[in-house]
A and B are shown apart, each in its own frame.
Chain A
Amino acid sequence: MENQHKETLSALVDNEIDDLEWRRLRGVSSDEICAQWRSYNQLSESIRGVRTVSVDVSASVSAAIAQLDNDGINPPGEAVADAQGFTRKNRLTPESDARRGLASAKTSTVDRSLNSDSSKSAWVTLAVAASFAFVSVMLFQLLQANPASDAGQSFAVVDQPSGTGSLLSVDAEEKLLSLLKKMPVNIARSDAETTESQKAMDEFTQRPDLLAKSSSVSQRDQLNEYLLRHAGAGFLGTPQGVAPYARLASFSTNNRAVMSE
């Protein structure tokens, strides 16, 4: 895959793609996108490693405090610069770079020392440690509020300042999904869930097609009535307005088309 296309795919992940780039990307073969996609998966794994470190607030803070008595302190601005550098660089680099970036972000916080004779330095250190704690808690809260991001949605993770993960915007996600819908990639499930789901789908498709097998008038009418009754119930059980009836009308049309074949 050409660098230009990689950058375009990367921009897509950040939802910073324009129509021209989008059209250009559509011309790329799915194999190439698959290959690039795998690198994003690797990146995702490394990002998940970030979360493991970051959400362990007590351990991280304790470690930071323990270091404070022994090590030197760096200017707070450096930590910010590190985090920002990590943020941008991580987008296109695979696992190793991401881990390195993370290590850098963590170390920039941990490798501090306290000059106990200087109250000014103490306040600076306090601010750094508090920022670390705040970022950790924020990240923890975001992950709690967004469990799907922990469920293996590799492409959906983009890095943000201070090393926090966030979800890809829905616009970008829609575009990416439409591009990659033919790829055998599961975006949100554990291996066990994927296996169960795939196994069920295989079994389902191996069974006779209910619509095609409903050859008699009575069978067609009965299936139609199931749909009709379900649509009536859907009015009660879902908030999608007229959609249950639209499904019914669509089914009636399709049903007639199947039967006339």
Chain B
Amino acid sequence: MVTVVQRWLCMLGLLLITSASMATELVASVSDNSWALFQKMVANTSKHSFRGVFLFSNGAALSAMKVVHRWQDGVVRERLLQLDGEMGEILRDGSKIICILPNANAINVYESGFSSPFAQLSGMPETLAENYHLSTAGEDRVAGIVAQKLYLRAVDAYRHSYQLWINKADGFLLKYLLLDDSGAEIERFQYTQLELGVVISDEELNPTVVGTTKVHENTALERATATIDRVMTVPEWLVGWVPPGFALMQGGLPDKKYDSQVFSDGLASFSVFVVPVLTGEGMPEGGTMMGATTAYSRKVVHANHQYDVTIVGEIPPLSAMKIAASVTLKN
């Protein structure tokens, strides 16, 4: 005979399953929408043409910059102009970056080799979900545009947390805050004026700073390693530890004279440089934080040659030090 309690148990079981299913769907729906907006932002990051003014705060420094960005035929052209203090400019044309330092006393030309932004990030959301907890935080207005606020909270101490303000219509990132492990703001980026979907002429992308300048076609690293072919064979290096979720990004220009590797978890990235010390002291050992960016350098010796291992990235010192300590020779 089926007792009342047994009937109850059966019914409760059914209700429990239904409740669990409903709750799962509810949570999944909210989460899916947030991730969908995030993915829209990632997919469209460079695929806008716009001009605007933004504030950038990196630690104690706050600066205003003007940006003109054009996406045309799959190629990005961009001009970044500092509006306060000494005037400097950064120009980007595809994978070529031209840095015009304040007072136009020098121009650095650099070929990054990275011309397809985020092509490799397509598989990142799954990894991101393991390392950041994503939640929505209502709506806000930034530069006169209604934005959806997303909060990506780091699940461990090896990365920073992010608050993003995203234009729901097209996924344009209007503002973000980077927070350290204690929750303190360490970097802020925020548009104050923005014109989206505009036509950008070639003239707008030309540098403002003109005159007699010293052009460094050969970069500091190239100069430092110019004699390397005659001196030694550069060994290959292995980065033995990276924070969970960070993966090696392929791309850039291969250089046999020094080792350069880039890792990203889809939101943050860091670069590892291993450069032989051929002349002088090379880089000093030590670390520095510039807002969200940590730079940390240590020396390693192999076969009577000294190498500088330098980590640069938007990661906490804890991560930078652990990564640097893990760099060893391959094999």
Q: Which residues of A contact B (CB under 8 A)?
A: 57, 61, 65, 68-69, 114, 116, 122, 125-126, 129-130, 133-134, 137-138, 140-142, 144-148, 151, 167, 169-171, 173-174, 177-178, 181, 185-189, 193-194, 196-197, 200-201, 203-204, 207-216, 218-219, 221-243, 245-254, 256
Q: Which of B19, B31, B223, B266 has the most CB of A within 10 A?
A: B19
Task: Find out whether the CB atom of B86 lies under 8 angstroms from the CB atom of A256.
Answer: yes
Point out the residue from A133, A253, A254 that lies within 8 Å of B16, measured CB to CB: A133
**B200: CB under 8 A from chain A?**
no
Q: Which residues of B contact A (CB under 8 A)?
A: 4-5, 8-9, 11-12, 15-16, 19-20, 23-24, 26-27, 30-31, 41-42, 45-46, 54, 56, 58, 61, 63, 65, 67, 69, 78, 80, 82, 85-86, 88, 90, 92, 95, 97, 99, 101-102, 108, 110, 112-114, 116-121, 133, 135, 137-138, 149, 151, 153-157, 163, 173, 176-177, 179, 181-185, 187, 189, 219-221, 223-224, 249, 251-252, 260, 262-264, 266-271, 273, 275, 280-288, 290-293, 295-297, 310, 312-314, 316-318, 320-322
Chain A neighbourhood of B182, CB < 8 A: 181, 185-187
Instruction: Give the 4 A-B residue pairs with the shortest CB-CB distance, closest first.
Output: A232-B112, A237-B264, A237-B269, A208-B286
Closest B residue by C-beta to A127: B15
Task: Find out whether the CB atom of B271 lies under 8 angstroms from the CB atom of A229.
Answer: yes
Point out the residue from A68, A181, A250 that lies within 8 Å of B58, measured CB to CB: A250
Point out the residue from B8, B149, B260, B271 that lies within 8 Å of A129, measured CB to CB: B8
Point out the residue from B26, B187, B283, B291 that lies within 8 Å of A219, measured CB to CB: B283
Task: Find out whether the CB atom of A207 lies under 8 angstroms from the CB atom of B85.
Answer: no
Determine how close the nearest CB of chain B comes to the CB of A58; give it in whole angstroms. 9
Closest A residue by C-beta to B140: A171
Task: Find out whether the CB atom of A211 lies under 8 angstroms from the CB atom of B264.
Answer: no
Task: Find out whether the CB atom of B312 lies under 8 angstroms from the CB atom of A226.
Answer: yes
Chain B neighbourhood of A173, CB < 8 A: 183
Chain B neighbourhood of A147, CB < 8 A: 133, 155
Task: Find out whether the CB atom of B12 lies under 8 angstroms from the CB atom of A126.
Answer: yes
Task: Find out whether the CB atom of B65 lies under 8 angstroms from the CB atom of A249.
Answer: yes
A171→B140 CA distance, assembly (Å):
10
Task: Find out whether the CB atom of B12 lies under 8 angstroms from the CB atom of A207.
Answer: no
Closest A residue by C-beta to B161: A188
Determine how close the nearest CB of chain A comes to the CB of B70; give it in whole angstroms. 12
Known: A126-B11, A189-B157. A239 touches B118 (CB 8 A): yes
Closest A residue by C-beta to B295: A210
A146→B134 CA distance, assembly (Å):
8
Determine how close the nearest CB of chain A comes to the CB of B323; give it in whole angstroms. 12
Q: Besides the contacts A186-B181, A214-B283, A232-B112, what 9 more A-B pairs have beta carbons closer than 8 Å?
A: A145-B133, A146-B133, A177-B179, A218-B220, A225-B110, A232-B114, A232-B252, A237-B121, A239-B267
Task: Find out whether the CB atom of A219 lies under 8 angstroms from the CB atom of B284.
Answer: yes
Closest A residue by C-beta to B21: A137
A221→B101 CA distance, assembly (Å):
12
Point out the residue from A116, A216, A231, A245 that lies within 8 Å of B280, measured CB to CB: A216
Point out the residue from B30, B114, B292 that lies within 8 Å of A233, measured CB to CB: B114
Chain A neighbourhood of B268, CB < 8 A: 237-238
Interface of B is mostly: mixed
A208→B285 CA distance, assembly (Å):
7
A242→B189 CA distance, assembly (Å):
10
Chain A neighbourhood of B290, CB < 8 A: 211, 247, 250-251, 254
Chain A neighbourhood of B296, CB < 8 A: 204, 210
Point out the residue from B41, B108, B249, B251 that lies within 8 Å of A228, measured CB to CB: B108
Chain B neighbourhood of A245, CB < 8 A: 78, 80, 90, 92, 97
Determine how close the nearest CB of chain A comes to the CB of B5; give it in whole angstroms. 6
A-B CB contact pairs (8 Å), 29 listed? A65-B5, A65-B8, A126-B11, A130-B19, A141-B20, A142-B23, A169-B138, A170-B149, A181-B182, A200-B316, A200-B321, A207-B287, A211-B295, A218-B224, A225-B108, A225-B221, A228-B108, A230-B293, A230-B312, A233-B112, A236-B117, A236-B118, A247-B292, A250-B58, A251-B58, A252-B101, A253-B102, A254-B61, A256-B102
Task: Find out whether the CB atom of A200 lies under 8 angstroms from the CB atom of B317.
Answer: yes
A145→B101 CA distance, assembly (Å):
46
A71→B41 CA distance, assembly (Å):
56
Task: Find out whether the CB atom of A134 lies under 8 angstroms from the CB atom of B137.
Answer: no
Determine how close the nearest CB of chain B comes to the CB of A229; give it in whole angstroms. 6
Q: Which of B102, B113, B182, B252 has the most CB of A within 10 A?
A: B182
Task: Find out whether the CB atom of A248 lies under 8 angstroms from the CB atom of B78.
Answer: no
A65→B13 CA distance, assembly (Å):
12
Closest B residue by C-beta to A172: B137
Task: Find out whether the CB atom of A249 lies under 8 angstroms from the CB atom of B4.
Answer: no
Point out the residue from A125, A233, A239, A247 that lies within 8 Å of B252, measured CB to CB: A233
Chain B neighbourhood of A243, CB < 8 A: 56, 176, 189
A186→B182 CA distance, assembly (Å):
5
